[in-house]
Amino acid sequence: MENPGTWKEVAVKRIASLVIAVVAVAGVVGSSAPASGHAEGESAAVFVTEIPQGYREWQWISSAHEAGNLNSLGAVLGNDIAIKAYREGKLPFPDGTIIAALHYHHVPSDENNKVFGQAQSFVPGAPTNIQFMVKDSTKYAATGGWGFAHFGTDGKPGDAAFMKTCFPCHEKAKASDLVFTRYAP
C-alpha cells in the first residue's frame, strides 16, 4: 500500500496537478483564441499582399458609383472562374475566383459636358485604389474563404488594421457569398 505521505506532500501533489490542469486549460484557451478570433475576423487574419496578374484584361462584371465621401466611380472585373460562376449563378464562388474592384475619383468630364451643353457627364478620374477578393476556402477559411486585398496607387497593400475591416463588412453579404457586386446583364 502506497504511503499517502504527509499533509504537506499531499498538498504539493494536488497543487502540482492543479497547476498542470490550469496550464492545460490555458493552453487550450491560448490555441483556440486565435481560431475564434479568425472566425470573427478580428485576429491574425491572412490578407492578399500581391496584386493578381493580368486583372486589367479581365471581363467586366459591373460598374459602381459611390457618392458621399468616397466619391468613387469604378468597375468590377473578374477572372474567368469568377465570370463563369457569375453567368451560371453559381454560389458559393469556387476556389480560384478573383474579383477586382478598380476605383477612381468620380469627376466631371469638361470635354463631354461642352458637347452636351450641361454638366451631366462623370467619368473615372485619377485612380484611388484597387481591391481584390481571392477565393481559397482553405487558405482564407478564417475569413469566409475569401482573401481580401487593397492596393493604393503606390502599389502597396493596406495595413493590417485597415484590412481587418474588410471581412466584417463583407460578411453582411452572406446570401451572395460575401460579394456585394451583381453581374450587369
> Residue 108: phi, psi to the nearest 5?
-70, 145
Nearer to its own copies, 62 or 139 (CB): 62
Residue 66 host element (H or E): strand 59-66
Nearer to its own copies, 142 or 178 (CB): 178
- The count of other CB atoms within 10 Å of the CB of residue 108 is 13
Nearer to its own copies, 10 or 169 (CB): 169
Residue 149 C-beta: closest distance to its own copies, Å: 18
The DSSP line for 41-52 is T-SS-----SPP
Residue 137 C-beta: closest distance to its own copies, Å: 23
Nearer to its own copies, 1 or 175 (CB): 175
Task: Report residue 51 as a C-alpha cell.
Answer: 496584386
Positive or negative CA dihedral for 130, 135, 140, 145?
A: positive
Distances (CA, A) of 134 to 62, 79, 87, 88, 149: 17, 10, 18, 19, 8
**Residues making contact with its own copies (CB under 8 A):** 56-60, 62-70, 73-75, 77, 102, 104, 106, 109, 111-112, 114-115, 118-124, 127, 169, 172-173, 180-182, 184-185
Residue 76 C-beta: closest distance to its own copies, Å: 9
Nearer to its own copies, 34 or 92 (CB): 92
Distances (CA, A) of 49 to 10, 44, 81, 91, 95: 56, 14, 21, 25, 18
Nearer to its own copies, 46 or 123 (CB): 123
Residue 25 C-beta: closest distance to its own copies, Å: 38
